[in-house]
Amino acid sequence: MAKIFLNGKEFEVPDGITVLEAAEKLGIQIPTLCHHPELEPIGACRICVVEIEGARTLQPACTTKITDGMKIRTNSDRVENAIKFNLSLIMANHPNDCMYCEADQRCELKKLVHKYDVRPIFNPTDLSEVFDDSSPSIQRDLSRCIKCQRCVRVCSEIQGMNIYSMVERGYKTIPQTAFDKPVYETNCISCGQCAYLCPVGAIYETPDWKKVLKLIERKEKILVAQTAPSVRVAIGEEFGMEPGSVSTGKMVASLKKLGFDYVFDTNFAADLTIMEEGTELIGRLKEGGPFPMFTSCCPGWINLLEKEYPEFIPNVSSAKSPQQMMSSVVKTYFAKKIGVDPEDIVMVSVMPCTAKKDEIKRPQQKIKLEDGREIQPTDYVITTRELAKLIKIKEINFAGLKDEEFDNPLGTSTGAGAIFGVTGGVMEAALRTAYEIITNKQLPKLEFDDVRGLNGIKEAEIDIEGKKIKIAIAHGTANVKKLLDDIRDGRRYYDFIEIMACPGGCIGGGGQPKSLDPEILKKRAMAIYSIDELSTLRRSHENPDVQKLYEEFLEKPYSHIAHELLHTHYTD
C-alpha cells in the first residue's frame, strides 16, 4: 500500500495504481474524455490534469502512477483553469451542432462544457469533412471527433480488427480507415464498439429511429416489434434506473405506447433457434461432423467469418439468428393467423447490436411466400439507445410505466431463451436441450458453471452418455480471433463453439446504453441470469408455444419448411 495526500487529506491506496484510479476509489471525481475503463490509458485529451507537488507542470491523472508520499491536488484554481482551457481548445475544433448530433444527452464533452462553463474563444474553423454513411450499421461524422482515440483503441485492443488509425497532424488529426476507404468497404464487422465508446457523436449507429418515428406517426401498416434478450436488462439505464434492473414490462409498455400493435419476444425465437441448432448439433454428433460446429446468431461474428475466416463456413450452423427467425415466422405463420398480407406488416427489431442492422439486408435471409414473392423478414432495426431516444422524444415516463406483457403466441419464452443475451448463454441453452434429447433424461443441474463468467475464452468438457463433448466460448473479437487461429493451426480442438463478437456477448453490444461503469457487464449479466432463475420453464424444448408452432406450421425441427424459413447460408 502507498500513502498519498489527496486535496490535503491522507489516504492509503494500493501500490501501482494511477492517480485517476486512486481518486475513483476515494470517491473523488476527476473529469476525463479519452479515458475508458476497458482501454489502456493514453493521456491524449489532457482533461484529467492534476497538480502534483514537486512536478513543474500539471500531470494527466490517467497515466500518472501513484508513488508513496505523493501530494495531489484535483481542486485548485490552477487545475480548474487548465481543464477549462483544454476544453476550450477542443471546442475550438468542434462544431456547435448539438441539436443535430446523435450523441444528444449522452455527449460526454457537452456535459463537461456545461459543468466548467466553457465559452468559445473563437468559432470553429476548418473542421474535418469526413462523413461516412456507407455502412447500414454505423455512421461517422469526423467533424465532431475530439481525437480521444477510443474508437482506434477499442477496435484494435478489444476487437482485434484495427480498422482505424490516427492520420494527419495537429488539430487535423482524425481516426481514419486505410486508404480513406468508406468503413463498409474495409473488414469492419459492424460490431459498433467504436460507436459504443465514442464520447461524442463522431461515430454512432445508423439512425433508423428517424424512419421508425415516421412509421409510428403515420401508422399506415401493422407495426410489430420484437425485443432482444439483453435490451430489457439495459434500457432502464437510459432513464436513471440502477444498472442491472430488469425492465421487461416497462419496455413492452413503452413500445405499446409508441404505437406498436404487437410486441413479441426475441427470446421466443431464441428457444426456436435452439430447437433448430440443437437438432443440427445432434445430427452432426451422429454423423461425425463437420466439427467444430459454431453458433450462428451473432452477425458481427458472421461478418468476421466471411471476411477473414471463410475456411470455417461449412462449420457454422445454418440456423438463422433469433431476430431473423422471429421476423420470418411473423411474416408467415402470424400473418396467416391474423389474416393479413405479410407486406402490410412492418417488422421492427429492438436490438443491443449495430450489426443486426446489416444482417437484415443480407439477400440470403429473404423468405419466399407461397405466391412466390420474396420478402425481407425484418424491416428496421433500432438499437437500445435508439428505442430510448424515441421514448424520450415522445415524452413517455419510462420509469413510471405500468408493466405490460408480451403478445401471444410469439411472446412466451423460457429461461434458456433469456440467457442468449450473455456470453455462454447460447451454449448453455443448447446443452440443456441437446443433453435431454440425446439421453432422454433430465439434467441433474441446469446451470453449466464453466460456460459462465467474463473470461474471454472459456472451455469445458461435457459428458453426454459417456461421450465427451469439448466446447469453447469466445467473446470480444480479439479473443475470437485468437481461438480461431489456434483451431486453424491445430493448437486446439473442440466439437461445439459459441462465438459473440462483442465483449460480454449482447449485453455489451454496440447499441447498448453507454456506460463508464467498469462493472456494467457483470451487472447486466446478473440481471439476465436472474430472469432465467425466476422462469418456470428453463429449457427451450419446454416452450409450449414453440411446440405449438411446430404442430401447426413448421412440422418438426429441420423439416423442409423449417429449412426454407429458418435457415440460411454464408458466402465468402
Which of helix, strand or coil describes residue 271? helix
Binder among 31, 229, 424, 557 for ligand HC1 (CB under 6 A): 229
Which of residues 230 and 332 has its CB atom nearest to ligand HC1 in the complex?
A: 230
Residue 393 to residue 395: CA distance in whole angstroms: 5
Q: Choose which of 391, 483, 506, 520 interacts with ligand HC1 (CB under 6 A).
A: 506
Query: Which of ligand HC1, ligand SF4, none interacts with 188 (beta carbon under 5 to 8 A by kind)?
Result: ligand SF4
Q: Which residues pair with 319 in a beta bridge?
A: 567
Assess contact for 157 and 40: CB atoms under 8 A. Answer: yes
Taking the complex as a whole, the smallest distance from the CB of residue 228 to ligand HC1 amounts, in Å, to 3
Binding of residue 193 to ligand SF4 (CB under 6 A): yes
Q: Between 30 and 507, whose beta carbon lies closer to ligand HC1?
A: 507
CB 277 within 8 A of CB 430: yes
Site for ligand HC1 in 282-311 (CB under 6 A): 297-298
Query: Residue 213 Cβ, how far from ligand SF4 at the closest point, in Å?
Result: 24
424 three-state secondary structure: coil
The one-letter amino acid code at 266 reads T
Q: Which residues contact 114 (CB under 8 A, 6 or more apart)?
A: none
Any contact of residue 304 with ligand SF4 (CB under 6 A)? no
Given 190, 230, 254, 414, the residue binding ligand SF4 (CB under 6 A): 190
Minimal distance in Å, beta carbon 223 to ligand HC1?
19
Closest CA to 565 of 269, 225, 263: 269
Q: In one letter, which amino acid is 449?
A: D
Instruction: Spell out the alpha helix ranges (H) of 92-178.
Output: 108-115, 150-153
Binding to ligand SF4 (CB under 6 A) within 133-162 occurs at 138, 154-155, 159, 161
Residue 392 to residue 563: CA distance in whole angstroms:
40
Grouping H, G, I as helix, E, B as strand and the rest as coil, residue 152 is helix
**Is 501 among the residues that bind ligand HC1 (CB under 6 A)?**
no
Q: Collect all residues with Cβ–Cβ distance below 8 Å to 154 and sequence separation of at least 6.
A: 36, 38, 39, 193, 194, 196, 197
Q: Is 199 in the site for ligand HC1 (CB under 6 A)?
A: no
Work out what residue 525 binds among ligand HC1, ligand SF4, none; the CB cut-off runs from 5 to 8 Å by kind: none
Distances (CA, A) of 55 to 61, 72, 73, 287: 13, 10, 12, 70
CB of 166 to ligand HC1, least distance (A): 30
Nearest to 424 by CA among 356, 499, 478, 480: 499
Smallest gap from residue 478 Cβ to ligand SF4 (A)? 11
Provide the 3-class DSSP secondary structure of residue 500: strand
Measured from each CB, the residue nearest to ligand HC1 is 506
Residue range at the interface with ligand HC1 (CB under 6 A); choices 74-82, 348-356, 457-465, 534-542: 348-356
Q: How far is the CB of 543 from ligand HC1 (least distance, A)?
A: 13
- Please report whether residue 270 would count as binding ligand HC1 according to CB under 6 A: yes
Residues that bind ligand SF4 (CB under 6 A): 138, 154-155, 159, 161, 163, 183, 188-194
Residues that bind ligand HC1 (CB under 6 A): 228-230, 266, 270, 297-298, 321-323, 351-353, 356, 420-421, 505-506, 509
